[in-house]
Chain A
Amino acid sequence: MLPCTPTMRADDKMSMPPKLKDALSDIRTGLGLWRVWMALAHEDIGDQHRRTTLGPIWLLITYLSFACTFIFLFDRGHGATNYPAHVATGLLVWFFIMETLTQSATLFTREESFIKGTRLPFSVYVMRLMVRSTIRDGYALVGCLAILFVSGTTFSFAWGWSALGLLLILLTAPAAIIIIAFLGAFIPDSQFVVANSMRLGMFLTPIFWMHDGASGVRAFFYDWNPFTYFIEIVRIPVITGQMPWQAFTLCLVMCLVLWVVALTVFALLRRDLVRVL
């Protein structure tokens, strides 16, 4: 059974350190309830495809149809080395980012009945979304590996750097979910901003296009788009066999900054969340 309800006092008497302690306690308890978010995430995936014949294989088909369309439509005139691998890895990371961030904006409003009916730590909902997105992207990973195999990409131990890149993305995801989920709960309009940004992001992020030493708008969106670097830390080791340390360091810094912001937001707004839903 969940820990018993502690003594609760008025929140206006709480200063920042106790609020931060509460937030960290929420995350610690939430992580301890890993069976809950794992089970709920699996049920979510099952429910989404329960009445279909192909089930979650549809996730693989969706990924392959997108990837193959981009590869066949745009693999002309680029002169890129291993364009299929470029698209396959880019789309793999983008699908995860898009799914996670878009769903984050409505996370707490979707979970309103749970939040108002149980004492589950809020971090359980965050982890549930992250696991669900990870499972969904797992099907895309199968498609990605298939494209890499068919396109003749040579396996190397440098792929381990890509795995490290994926791990960093997974470590960053809960922080991003917390920030966007609170934003969505307190400023409902933000869910449309996030959804539209993700739709545009598909074209403004180097998923199927390359930098190619270009200047102008394309270079701007390559250099100043944070998603670029999260894609490159997975993509470059697969294509070139090298670890892009600069991009990795940048992603690490972004991860730390996001966690600082996420913990601050979580500490400040956690107790008010139930009242605004």
Chain B
Amino acid sequence: MAATLNHILNMGSESLHNSRVGVDVTGHNIANAHTPGFSRQRVNLEARTPVQYGPHVLGQGAKIQTIERTHDKFIEAQWRKEMQTQGANRGEADGLERLESLFSPEMTSTIRDRLTGFTNALREFSNYPEESAVRANLVESGAALTQSINATHAGVVEVQNDVSSEIEGETKIINEKLIEIASLNQSIKELEANPTSRANDLEDRRDLAVRDLSKLIDTQCYKDENDQLTVRGPGGALLVEGTHASSFVMEEKLDKGLYPRLVLRDAFGQSTRDLTTNVKQGRLAGLIKVRDGHAQDLRDNVNQLASWLSDSFNSVHREGYGSGDYSRMKGRSFFEGHDIQGEPAYTIRVSTLLQNEPDALASGLTPDAQGDNVIANRLLKVFSNPVSGDKGLTLAQHYDTVVSKLGMDTLHAKEATKASDIVVAQIEAQREGVAGVSLDEEAANLLKYQHLFTASSRIITTADEMFRTVLDLKR
């Protein structure tokens, strides 16, 4: 029924409808100009299929084909990938900064300072082995040294514990995101049952959830023909498939270290898999690297240091004679508590006997010789000689190596974080260039649709006038 007045009226009314939808979508864009993850939407208009009218082909006006979000899936994939790297770097840097603060150059009670204090007390002891005040001072310095070792060990363990509970907290967020993605899959499936319907806002939300997930853990995603997103995680493990979401739990496993392991339980609760060592990306990877890598290494090194110190110091000290009641007795240890398996840095302390009776301190190689400082000098050499089992490093040099490695690691992690921040910011800018809302543009669109609306109303009023003219013919 082309070219009838009714046809003109219909076309005008549809165009009026189109312009109204246009203003609607523009309004939606403006409202979401600052919504994170929102992609601007646009109305795709399409000319209706024309019809044959006598010798002519007449147009049928315009209809709305789809309301589509502007989206670049390649940028999205790249963004996800870089966010995983950024998350890993940032997690590592955050943890390392906490460890670093235990060894800050501003501090004056580090193991190294106390080691220096102790050796100087020992030098004083070598000068005046007969002085009881000097003996008492050496015992006090020894206690200060063991306390600093205990405190450093405790500090590292505290960071490890904190990081471990942060990992646990992050897994809860991951689980929420996995459920969110699965339920968005469900809603999208329902809304997109009609092939021309696009669940734009839900897709934006799902993309945002996946990006949030990528900040935390390894992700690889792909969509099936029904627009359902499948997410795979560390080691290719299935995290979300359709409307099913797996979940992470922290499980203690005694044979695999002190801290709980990251275990994935499948959507049906039928199988579990330990993924702790498979996590390579995202904040969780950085945190796990700090907990099981950097902090554990540091802890091992402090333990090693305590064990070397007490072993080498004691073996010399046992050879020496003390003063007063102890001037004919030898075979006493200076440090104790180190022989307990595992954590000597936690247990090391100055022997109780020496704390109560500084005369038991060994200074000489010969009995009954108050001025004999041979053992005192040999004890001093414990600090300048290489410690056993190491690459020719003294205790202090070993400590320095550990500290400078920590400094280097922290520096590298911070630099890597800075670099990935820049990359992510660039990708975000690219993404915003495609999908972000520009108010200028939306203002222009508003004008465009307003003019369209005005013009469409003119079509209807014109058709109306034409109707009236036709009706007036009858009078």
Is the pairing of A and B real? no
